[in-house]
C-alpha cells in the first residue's frame, strides 16, 4: 500500500524523504543479496545471443540455419571415429508365415531397417608384462640383461597412457582422485588415492618446463585476457586463488596464496600490449602508465543492470538494450565471417560507437536520479568509472568487447572447487594450475589431451630445451611410431 502524501510545509519532510530513500536503497540491496544467496547459481542473465535471436532478420535466421547444418555435419564426421560394429538380426521362423495369404515371407525389402545404439565397454586398460632377456657367457663370469623399457615416471608401474588418462580426468572433467581410484579398481587395477595423488604431482613436476613456457608465450602476446577465482588451501586453511591468462587459443593458469597484484605482476610485468580485465585493482601493477593498456569488460558492466531489473525495470532495460546493440554488431560480423576485418572495424566505429555514446549520455542523465548505493546506482557508477576502458574495443578491432573468455576458462576451476573442495597447499595448487594449462590449451586447439600427454611424457626429458615450443599443445606433432 502506498503511503499517504506528505505535507510539504512540515519541517520533517526532508528528513522523512531522506529516510525513505535510504530505506528503498537498503531494501534493494537486501533483495540483491537474497538473490545471490538463494537464487540460481548458474548464469544469472541470458547471454546476448539469446536476446538477439528473438529479433533476428530472415538473413540472420538463414545464416544460423546453415551454421547449425555445419555443426550437424561435423557431428556426423565425429561419429565415424567411434569403433563400429554391425549386427544383422534375422526374422525368426515363426514370423515368416504371412497372416494375409498364408504364404512364406522370404523376399528381401531394401537393406532392412537400421537403428543406432551406443554402447559402453569398460575402459580398455591392460596389464603389460615386460620380460628382460638375460644371457650368460660360457665362462660363467658375465650376464647381459636387456635394457628396461622407458617409463613415463621413474619406478612407476603405470604407463604414459594411464597417467595421461588420470591427469585428463582430473583437469578436464574435475573428477576427484578418490573417485578415480574406485573407477580403476572396478576394472581390475589395484589403486589408492595416495598413489594417484603422487603420480599427479610427479607429472606436474615433470611437465613444469612446458606449463611455464606456455605462460611466457601468453605474456609475450599483444592482447591478454585475465581473471581469477578462489580455491581453498588445506594447509594453511585459507583461501588461495587460481588466475587465468589467455591469448587467443592459449590458456594458462597460475596459483597463488593471495589475491594481491603480485601474481599479475609476476606473469605480465615488463610486457607491453593490452590487458582485458574487470575493474579489480590487482591488475593496476601491469597497466599504464608504465605497462599495458587496460581494456574493460562490457559483460561485467551489463551484468550490473541486469541485477537492477527488479528494482528499476524500465531504466535497467534501457541500458540493457543499448548494450545489446554492441553485441548485435559482434554477432553480425561473426555470421558474415568478417571478424577482425576492416569492415568489422568500420562497423565498430559507426554503429558500436553510436550505441556507446547514447549509453553514456543516458548514464549521465540518470545518475542523479538514483541513490548511489542502489543496484542501479552502483551499475551506473561502475560503468561511468570504467568508461575509458569499456570503450577501448572501438579503436582496436582485435580486442574483444568483454572478458567472457577468461571467465569461461575458470569454470573448470569452479567445478573442481565443488568436487574436490581444496588443494593441499600452495605447491599443490601450482601443480594443478600447470596441468590445467596444458589440458585446457589442448582442448582449445582441438588436441586430444590424453594423446598429447602420453606422447610428451616420454619425450620431454630428452627434447632439446632450445626447441621446447615444439612440445606446446598448439604446436605439438605426435612422434612417429
- Sketch the domain layout of the chain as residue ranges: 149-294+405-481, 297-402
pTM to 2 decimals?
0.81
**C-alpha torsion sign, points 286, 289, 292, 298:** positive
CA 166 to CA 209: how far, in whole Å? 20
Instruction: Give pLDDT, residue 127.
Output: 85
Whether residue 408 contacts residue 400, with contact meaning beta carbons closer than 8 Å, is answered with no
pLDDT in tens, the chain (481 residues): 445 555 556 666 677 777 777 777 777 777 777 766 666 544 456 777 777 776 667 777 777 777 777 777 776 666 666 677 788 888 888 877 888 787 787 888 877 777 776 665 666 788 888 899 888 888 888 888 898 888 889 888 889 999 999 999 999 999 999 999 998 888 888 788 999 999 999 999 999 999 999 999 999 999 999 999 999 999 999 999 999 999 999 999 999 999 999 999 999 999 999 999 999 999 999 997 889 999 999 999 999 999 999 889 999 999 999 999 999 999 999 988 999 999 999 999 999 999 999 999 999 999 999 988 889 999 999 999 999 999 999 999 999 999 999 999 999 999 999 999 999 999 999 999 999 999 999 999 999 999 999 999 999 999 999 999 999 999 999 987 6
Instruction: Name the grid cell of 165.
Output: 588418462
Inter-residue contact 263 to 246 (CB < 8 Å)? no
208-219 helix and 426-444 helix, angle to the nearest 10 degrees: 70
Give the Cα separation of 114 and 297 in Å (integer).
51
Residue 463 and residue 469: Cα distance in Å, rounded?
10
Find out whether 268 and 275 touch, Cβ atoms under 8 Å.
yes
Beta 134-136 vs 143-145: how paired, if at all?
A: antiparallel
Give backbone dihedrals phi and psi of 225, rounded to 5 degrees, phi first. Answer: -105, 145
Strands (E), 422-462: 422-423
pLDDT at 21: 72
Amino acid at each position: 500500500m502506498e503511503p499517504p502524501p506528505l505535507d510539504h510545509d512540515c519541517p520533517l519532510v526532508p528528513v522523512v524523504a531522506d529516510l525513505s530513500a535510504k530505506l528503498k536503497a537498503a531494501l534493494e540491496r537486501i533483495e540483491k543479496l537474497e538473490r545471490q544467496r538463494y537464487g540460481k547459481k548458474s548464469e544469472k542473465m541470458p547471454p546476448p545471443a539469446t536476446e538477439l535471436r528473438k529479433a533476428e532478420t530472415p538473413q540472420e535466421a538463414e545464416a544460423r540455419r546453415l551454421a547449425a547444418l555445419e555443426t550437424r555435419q561435423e557431428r556426423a564426421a565425429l561419429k565415424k571415429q567411434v569403433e563400429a560394429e554391425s549386427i544383422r538380426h534375422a526374422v525368426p521362423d515363426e514370423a515368416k508365415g504371412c497372416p494375409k495369404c498364408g504364404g512364406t515371407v522370404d523376399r528381401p525389402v531394401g537393406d532392412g531397417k537400421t537403428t543406432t545404439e551406443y554402447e559402453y565397454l569398460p575402459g580398455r586398460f591392460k596389464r603389460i608384462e615386460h620380460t628382460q632377456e638375460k644371457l650368460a657367457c660360457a665362462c660363467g663370469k658375465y650376464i647381459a640383461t636387456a635394457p628396461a623399457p622407458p617409463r613415463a615416471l621413474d619406478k612407476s608401474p603405470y604407463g604414459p597412457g594411464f597417467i595421461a588418462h588420470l591427469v585428463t580426468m582430473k583437469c578436464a572433467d574435475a573428477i576427484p582422485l578418490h573417485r578415480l581410484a574406485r573407477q580403476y579398481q572396478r576394472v581390475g587395477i589395484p589403486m589408492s588415492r595416495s598413489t594417484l595423488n603422487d603420480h599427479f604431482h610427479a607429472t606436474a613436476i615433470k611437465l613444469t618446463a612446458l606449463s611455464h613456457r606456455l605462460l611466457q608465450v601468453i605474456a609475450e602476446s599483444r592482447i591478454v585476457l585475465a581473471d581469477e577465482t578462489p580455491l581453498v588451501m588445506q594447509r594453511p586453511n585459507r583461501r588461495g586463488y587460481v588466475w587465468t591468462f589467455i591469448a587467443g587459443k592459449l590458456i594458462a593458469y597460475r596459483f597463488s596464496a593471495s589475491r594481491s597484484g603480485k601474481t599479475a605482476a609476476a606473469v605480465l610485468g615488463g610486457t607491453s600490449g593490452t590487458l582485458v580485465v574487470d575493474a579489480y585493482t590487482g591488475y593496476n601493477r601491469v597497466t599504464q602508465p608504465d605497462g599495458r593498456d587496460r581494456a574493460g569488460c562490457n559483460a561485467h558492466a551489463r551484468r550490473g543492470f541486469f541485477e537492477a531489473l527488479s528494482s528499476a525495470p524500465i531504466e535497467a532495460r534501457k541500458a540493457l538494450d543499448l548494450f545489446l546493440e554492441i553485441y548485435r554488431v559482434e554477432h553480425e560480423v561473426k555470421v558474415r565471417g568478417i571478424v577482425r576485418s576492416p569492415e568489422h572495424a568500420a562497423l565498430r566505429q559507426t554503429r558500436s560507437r553510436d550505441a556507446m555514446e547514447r549509453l553514456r549520455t543516458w548514464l549521465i542523465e540518470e545518475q542523479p536520479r538514483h541513490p548511489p548505493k542502489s543496484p542501479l546506482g552502483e551499475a551506473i557508477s561502475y560503468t561511468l568509472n570504467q568508461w575509458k576502458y569499456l570503450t577501448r574495443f572501438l579503436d582496436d578491432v582485435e580486442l574483444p568487447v568483454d572478458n567472457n573468455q577468461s571467465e569461461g576458462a575458470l569454470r573448470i576451476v569452479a567445478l573442481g572447487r565443488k568436487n574436490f573442495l581444496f588443494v593441499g597447499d600452495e605447491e599443490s595448487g601450482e601443480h594443478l594450475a600447470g596441468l590445467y594449462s596444458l589440458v585446457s590449451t589442448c582442448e582449445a586447439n582441438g588436441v586430444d589431451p590424453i594423446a598429447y600427454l602420453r606422447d610428451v611424457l616420454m619425450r620431454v626429458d630428452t627434447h632439446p630445451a632450445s626447441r621446447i615450443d615444439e612440445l606446446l599443445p598448439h604446436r605439438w606433432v605426435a612422434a612417429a611410431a
